[in-house]
Amino acid sequence: MDISILQNYIKPELLVVAIVLYFIGMGLKNTEKINDKYIPVILGLIGTVISAVYVVATSTFSGYQSILMAIFTTIVQGILVAGLSVYANQLIKQAKKTE
């Protein structure tokens, strides 16, 4: 996969968050307290919180429109980095299968 395609959708500064979420997901998978079906949701929430920190730290707010745009950006980036981490996990899992 060409990394420039990802940069069109995910802010380059947040690509590292996908890697962090991948390892968090691996840790959650190894616990028996959390059902596997909830891991993507948890990663989405964590990704959104981390994205919110980034957006607030790098934005200047000059009105309600900029605040709404920051909220939108936070949600979209959080979902995208979580999706990327789950996608990477599935690529690795599928590559290990022998058929």
pLDDT at residue 98, rounded to an integer:
79
pLDDT at residue 1, rounded to an integer:
54
Tokens of 36: 């596997």
Would you call 79 exposed, middle or buried from its count of C-beta atoms within 10 A (0-12, 13-18, 19+)? middle
pLDDT at residue 96, rounded to an integer:
87
Mean pLDDT, contiguous 10-residue spans, the chain (99 residues): 70 91 94 91 96 94 94 95 91 84
Number of other residues whose CB lies within 10 A of the CB of residue 34: 13
pLDDT at residue 57, rounded to an integer:
94
Q: Which residues contact 28 (CB under 8 A, 6 or more apart)?
A: 34, 39, 42, 43
Tokens of 94: 């599928």
